[in-house]
A = this chain, B = another copy of it.
């Protein structure tokens, strides 16, 4: 397409990104919290989520459930039937399993927790609608060699590569091992969910194959990150015991340092998208990523 032609898609894209030109920022166009009939969160928690873009919750699930889920992670990582499966992602420098995707389909135990009112109920309450699983995965950051994850907004990727039209999705990360300040825990820039940071560079074909291992495009620039951090006045490292959780807005800028500690870090990670925010064609990629990374089947929980 020529530079002078504006397609229908470009005209309706409220969050243009990866256009190959300058990095820009713009205010978020969508609400963070939608009206709802209530749920597990109280008013203070809703307010905190609205302002900060994230909410940490101790003891979201029981230690018995943690135990059950950890056994399930080991079973999945060791399953010979999944050894060559593209849903199983390994560390670039070793062969350790880093992530297993689509665990809500691979494991009944995990599917049950993911659909539980304590977890999915928070997402419904924030998003003011029914929700479905856009993505689920287990992340294992091994001790000593766990790699860093550079800053990014998930929504930037989901919009560009999956065709998620609005910023109306939340992630819940449930800690299956303790998240310390020393083992590569989630770092967030509070309030950054209110700014959309467009990134430079076009999405290469089948980008997800590499980006799940190491990021290449979709990387925000230093200037934008510095401004967001200055506005926030702080970066928060989210710590918590096994069974704790953090829910965060899809556009919150987050990342994590490498893990040289001996403590592995394993989290169950679920993205809930509003059923009113169904995926369309990708806004900045040739074709959508596969279903195990970004489900195109809206099945209300």
Contacts and interface: CB of A to CB of B under 8 A. Distances in A.
A261 interface: yes
Interface of A: 143-144, 148, 150-151, 180-182, 184, 187, 222, 225-226, 229, 235-237, 255, 257-263
A257 B184 contact: yes
B148 A229 contact: no
B261 A235 contact: yes
B222 A262 contact: yes
A261 B148 contact: no
B261 A144 contact: no
Contacts of A222: 143-144, 262
Contacts of A255: 260
A152 to B, nearest CB: 11
A1 to B, nearest CB: 34
B226 A258 contact: no
A115 B104 CA distance: 62
Instruction: Return the 7 tightest CB-CB contacts between A and B, nearest first.
Output: A257-B257, A181-B181, A182-B235, A226-B262, A229-B262, A181-B237, A182-B187
B261 A258 contact: no
A201 B180 CA distance: 32
Given A181-B237, A187-B182, A237-B182, A148 B260 contact: yes
A180 B225 CA distance: 17
A225 B257 contact: no
A184 B181 CA distance: 11
Nearest to A151: B260
23 contacts: A143-B226, A144-B222, A144-B225, A148-B257, A148-B260, A151-B260, A180-B235, A182-B187, A182-B235, A182-B236, A184-B257, A187-B261, A222-B262, A225-B262, A229-B262, A235-B261, A235-B263, A255-B260, A257-B257, A257-B258, A257-B259, A257-B260, A258-B258
A62 to B, nearest CB: 24
Contacts of A258: 148, 257-258
A182 B260 CA distance: 14
A135 B214 CA distance: 37
Nearest to A222: B144
Contacts of A229: 261-263
**Best-surrounded residue of A150, A181, A229 (most CB of chain B within 10 A):** A181
A224 to B, nearest CB: 10
Contacts of A261: 187, 229, 235
A237 B229 CA distance: 21
Nearest to A261: B235
A222 B263 CA distance: 11
A275 B263 CA distance: 39
